[in-house]
Structure 1
Amino acid sequence: MFALPSRLAALALAGALVLTGCSGSDDSPKADPSTSSSTSASGSTSPSAEDSPYLPVPDGVELTPQGSELKVGEKATVAYEPRQDTVGVLDITIDRIEETTFKKSFAGWKLDKATKKTTPYFVRATITNVGDTDLGGRDVPLYIVDGNNTLIEASAFASTFKPCMPGTFPKKFKQGKTADVCLVYLSPDHGELTAVSFRPTQDFDPITWEGQLKEPKPVGNGGAKGG
């Protein structure tokens, strides 16, 4: 089992806004996030493109093979189960990965010692719902991989965080809708971001994106597009 960091302390602004690690809920069948041991973030098998889809998808949708290694700017078509007996199907393009600092992007936030020992990263992506399920309000199913080959899940904010938003899909995110999203990750022990990973379950051979780290973009807003 891979490890997800559980020791990232909350950030608070004037004691009001809280940032916490985004954990799997009862309707999100992710790999067990409670384990304290670190294991590889990469899988063991790489099914070929000729294999049957690992989950049922609409006619005409071709899933990107598990184990695919992509570059920033390339698209993957993926499927996952955000809850039991519910399948989401997404086109995901990782547009940009950014390394920032607390000084640059978290001015005015109260940081504890544990948080100061992390390195903040932003991941910007364009995601289109190509399945039959409305995924409105759900978390974006992406992790980052650090220099120890450990998966790190995105952080969630209790209020607006303008440098990087949103980290969830719009309230209505039906088939054909596209959203520009931005996710915040805090890598423990100033860990390096080596890849962005789609790995909805432990036995899924992850699809990853690699690319050059950029400076943070100017503050902007994401949102939904399309029909």
Structure 2
Amino acid sequence: MRPSRPARAALAGLLAGSLLLTACSDDSDDPSAEGSGSPTSSAGTASASATPYLPVPEGVELTPQGSELEVGETATVAYEPRQDQVGVLSIRVDRIEKTSFKESFRGWQLDAATKKATPYFVRVTVANEGETNLGGRRVPLYIVDGRNTLVESSSFASRFDPCPSTPLPKKFGPGKKTKVCLVYLAPDKGELTAVSFRPTQEFAPITWTGPVEKVKKPGNGKKGKGKGGKNRKQG
């Protein structure tokens, strides 16, 4: 299934709004990825294919399309960040958190469309299993809302300590590993139903589901301390 044109328009409007999150008078940058389309769920676990859907290094086994994973499980995936490039990542969704603008976005200016959204934080561990430097690329994950629509992660022009939602490190070559927290805004008070890897419309999505937990309070983790109002420019 694909979203209707009105659904696309509403989502596009929200994503534009989500990027208007500002502290004081800072403007936000556009995300590098486009998220549209809705995932098609598969019944049970997909069977492995003998041929990878994209060329990957010898010894790398891709997680089958349509796989349904639990939070804490790892998928190895391949995608094309651009036409002449193949990236291979292992992705583990570690934690899904539901928050609120009042709790996590104090001091930030929000437009009307953004205020109607439900904010979520998704914490993941990512490792480069391929031969391509993926530095500076967005993590290719989306969330699925209750309307079966894909929602891309939001980005910030300024520092957002509770969940930075930044691209992969500038140098993220073969063998590199990192932890990332991504911010998602489910439109119109939507509910997160799954985290999804779906690089193209034709791809049967790999999804993660599990408990949606309370957001970690600032200062409880090793990183991300500080108030949301303290900002500096991010790449």
Deviations 1:39-76 (A, max 9, x none): 53226798631330000111110000000000000000
AA in 1 matched with 2:133: D
Aligned partners of 2:192, 2:146: CA distance in 1, in Å?
Answer: 7
RMSD between aligned alpha carbons?
Answer: 2.1
Alignment of 1:5-20 (within 5 A): 5-8=11-14, 9=17, 10-18=20-28
Q: Look up the match of 1:211.
A: 210
The structure whose residues are more often helix, as a share, is 2
Q: What's the secondary structure of 1:189's corresponding residue? A: coil
Match status 1:42 vs 2:52: no
Aligned partners of 1:94, 1:108: CA distance in 2, in Å?
Answer: 29
Deviation at 1:167, TM superposition (A): 2.8
Q: What's the secondary structure of 1:6's corresponding residue? A: helix
Deviates more, 1:52-61 or 1:9-18: 9-18
Q: What's the secondary structure of 1:133's corresponding residue? A: coil
User: Is the 8 Å Cα contact of residues 26 and 157 (structure 2) preserved in structure 1?
Assistant: no
User: Is the 8 Å Cα contact of residues 12 and 19 (structure 1) preserved in structure 2?
Assistant: no
Deviation at 1:110, TM superposition (A): 1.3
Deviation at 1:6, TM superposition (A): 1.0
Q: Look up the match of 1:112.
A: 111
Change (3 A) 1:19 1:136: closer
User: Is the 8 Å Cα contact of residues 99 and 120 (structure 1) preserved in structure 2?
Assistant: yes
User: Is the 8 Å Cα contact of residues 43 and 203 (structure 1) preserved in structure 2?
Assistant: no
Q: What's the secondary structure of 1:144's corresponding residue? A: strand
User: Is the 8 Å Cα contact of residues 154 and 165 (structure 2) preserved in structure 1?
Assistant: no
Q: What's the secondary structure of 1:96's corresponding residue? A: strand
Deviations 1:109-133 (A, max 9, x none): 1122211110000000000000000
Match status 1:153 vs 2:163: no
Deviations 1:24-47 (A, max 9, x none): 3xxxxx67x4xxxxx532267986
Deviations 1:168-218 (A, max 9, x none): 100000111101001101111100000000000110000000010011123
Q: Look up the match of 2:64.
A: 65
Aligned partners of 1:59, 1:23: CA distance in 2, in Å?
Answer: 29
User: Is the 8 Å Cα contact of residues 132 and 174 (structure 2) preserved in structure 1?
Assistant: yes
Count of paired positions: 210
Mind listing any 5+ residue stretches in structure 2 that lack a counterpart? 225-235
Aligned partners of 1:19, 1:50: CA distance in 2, in Å?
Answer: 39
Q: Look up the match of 1:87.
A: 86
Mind listing any 5+ residue stretches in structure 1 that lack a counterpart? 25-29, 34-38, 223-227
Change (3 A) 1:192 1:166: closer
Deviation at 1:13, TM superposition (A): 1.6
Deviations 1:115-160 (A, max 9, x none): 1110000000000000000000000000000001110011111121
AA in 2 matched with 1:6: A
* Shift >3 Å, 4+ stretches: 1-4, 43-47, 218-222
Aligned partners of 2:144, 2:57: CA distance in 1, in Å?
Answer: 30
Aligned partners of 1:165, 1:150: CA distance in 2, in Å?
Answer: 23
- TM-score between both structures, scaled by the size of structure 2: 0.83
Q: What's the secondary structure of 1:190's corresponding residue? A: coil
